[in-house]
Structure 1
Amino acid sequence: MATKTIQVEGMSCEHCKSAVSGALNNLDGVSQADVNLEAGTVEVNYDDAKVDDATMAEAIEDQGYDVK
């Protein structure tokens, strides 16, 4: 398992938190995604053999947020 902190722009409320964590948690290989609204980050625990950075970024961007 690997852990990565991703900077995400545009998150400001519980809906944002739910959208981003839900999109990541639905990816095969992601075991947990914890959003920190104040920091504008999401910490992801994942299996790097099943999911990569680009796939996680795409899942976030599909929800309408920008990955730094």
Structure 2
Amino acid sequence: MKTITITIEGMMCQHCETRVQNAVMALDGVTSCEASAKNNQAVITFDETKVKEENINETIEEVGYEVK
């Protein structure tokens, strides 16, 4: 398991946090995702054998936010 912190631009509220969390948690191999609009970050734990960091970043961008 690997835990990463990703900086995300565009999250403004709890709805944004939930949108990011739901999208990331839908990926096979992701075990946790805690997004914070206040900090503009998400802390994500995942199994590197099932999902890659690039896939997580792409998923966040697909739901309308920018990964930095």
Same fold (TM over 0.5): yes
TM-score, normalisation: structure 2: 0.96
The aligned counterpart of 1:17 is 17
Unpaired segments of 5 or more residues in structure 2?
none
Q: State how far apart, in whole Å, the 2-side matches of 1:36 and 1:63 are.
A: 16
Q: What amino acid is aligned across from residue 17 of structure 1 in structure 2? A: E
How many residue pairs are counted as aligned between the two chains?
A: 68
TM-score, normalisation: structure 1: 0.96
The aligned counterpart of 2:3 is 3
The aligned counterpart of 1:40 is 40
Q: After TM superposition, where is structure 1 displaced by more than 2 Å over at least 4 residues in a row?
A: none
- CA displacement 1:4-30 (0-9 Å, x = unmatched): 000000001111001100000000000
